[in-house]
Copies of this chain bind each other. A is one copy, B any other.
Amino acid sequence: MTQESLETQMYEIGARAATAARGLALAPRTVKDQFLRATAQGLRNHAADILAANAEDLALARAQELPAARLDRIALDEGRLEAIASAIEDIAALPDPVGDVMQSWTPERNGLNISRVRVPLGVIGVIYESRPNVTADAAALCVKSGNAVILRGSSEIMHSAQAIATCFADASAACGLDPACVQLVPTTDRAAVSLMLAGLHQTIDVIVPRGGKNLVTLVQEEARVPVFAHLDGNCHSYVHASADLEMAVSVVLNAKMRRVGICGATETLLIDRACVATHLPALLEALIGAGCTVRGDAEIQAADGRVSAASDEDWATEYLDNIIAAKVVGSVEEAIAHINLYGSHHTDAIIAEDMLVAEKFLNEVDSAIVIQNASTQFADGGEFGMGAEIGIATGRFHARGPVGLEQLTTFKYVVRGTGQTRPK
C-alpha cells in the first residue's frame, strides 16, 4: 500500500471511530452489555473459524522460527478461547461507570447546582503485541466504558485478531450499534502505528500500549496523544527493623517469586541495618531456597556466601526474572531516597509494625502505589476491586496505577440553574 492510501485508510478508520464513539457514549448499559454478551457467544459459535485463523498465524510464526515462548503467546485452544469469552462476560457484569455523579454541590454565591458526571473518553487506540486475547479484553473494556476502540495488533496474530474482531462487528450490528465501535487496523504496515500515535491525534483521545518495553518506549517517544502506560516496574520491598519476621519472609517471597514476569514483582529488597542480624538470614534463605539469585551490596554479601555482588546498574534494573537486588539501608529516610532515585514510581512496599515509620514511607515515596505490610504483587486492577484492568499507568494524571473502567472515562460539569446571570 502506498503511504498516501494508508493515510486515507487510517483517517477513514479514525472518522468512523469518532462517529461510533458519539453513539456508544450515549448507549444505555443494557445495550452495551448485550453487545458484549453477544460477542462472547459469537466467539464460542465461531470457535472453529478462530482456531483455524490462529493455526494460520502459528504456521507463519513457526516458518519464521520464532522462539517457543512467543509461539505459546500466539497460540489459542478451546480452553483459552473459552477464557476469552467468559472474560468478556465478566466485563459485561461490571457496573457501568458512565453517568455516575462523582460530586454535586451548590456554591452559595450563585445557587447553581453543579455536578461532575462521568462520560467516556471518546476514541481509544490500543497497540499490542502477540497475545490474541488482548483484542477481546481491550475491546470489551473500551466498549463497556462507552469508548470506541481502534485496535492494532502485531503482524504475528493478524489472522486471529481479525477473526475475533469479526465477532465484535457481527454482535454490534445485531444490537443496533455502529460496527465501527470496535475496529481492527487491517494492515501490518508499521506506518499505521505512527499514524495512530501522531497523525490521528485529533481523533484518538488516548493510546494504550500493551506489550514489552520496546513497544512502550516507541509509543512514549512518538505519541502526540496521551498514553496510559508504564515503562518500568522497578518495585521495592523495604523491611524495616520493626517488621514481624515471619510476615517479612512470606511477603517478600511472594512479592519477588509469585510471578517474576509481572510489573508488580519486587526487584530490589531494602533492609534496615538494625535487623540485618535478626531478619536477613531468613529472608535470604527463603529467596535462595525458592530459586532466586541474590545480588547484594557488601553487607548483604557478608551475610551469605551465595550472594553475588550488585553494581549500581542493578538498583535501576527491572529483572522480570528469578533475580533480586538487595541493599542495607541505615534508616527509612535512606530507603525512601533510594526508591525515589532508582525506582520507577510504580509500586513500593514497606514491611513494618512501627506505624510512624510506615506513614512516613507511605507519604514520602513518590509512587503510584505505596503499600504497608503486603506484597507488591497486589498492584493489579482485579485485586484493587476494579474488576479488570487494561494496564497499569505511572503517569501523573487521571489514570495512575491500575487502569480499569473508571480510568477509561473522564467527566463533564453539568450545571442546573434557575435563570442566574453573572454579576459584573
Chain A positions within 8 Å of B, measured between CB atoms, are: 22, 25-26, 105, 107, 109-110, 112, 114, 119, 121-122, 205-206, 226, 244, 247, 250-251, 253-255, 258, 340, 358, 362-364, 366-375, 377-378, 380, 383-385, 396-401, 410-422, 424
Contacts and interface: CB of A to CB of B under 8 A. Distances in A.
Given A226-B226, A378-B110, A410-B400, A250 B372 contact: no
A421 B369 contact: no
Contact of A397 (B226, B250, B369): B226
B416 A340 contact: no
Nearest to A364: B26
Contacts of A119: 366
Do most interface residues of chain A lie in helix, strand or loop, or is the interface mixed?
mixed
B370 A415 contact: yes
Contacts of A253: 421
A386 to B, nearest CB: 9
Contacts of A366: 22, 25, 119, 412
A398 B401 contact: no
A416 B114 contact: no
Contacts of A109: 383, 385
Most buried by B among A255, A358, A396: A396
Nearest to A377: B422
Contacts of A414: 362, 370
A424 B260 CA distance: 12
B26 A374 contact: no
Nearest to A419: B247
B420 A375 contact: yes
B114 A421 contact: no
A256 B400 CA distance: 39
Q: Which 3 A-B residue pairs are closest in the complex by CB-CB distance?
A: A374-B417, A254-B421, A107-B385
A239 to B, nearest CB: 12
Nearest to A247: B419
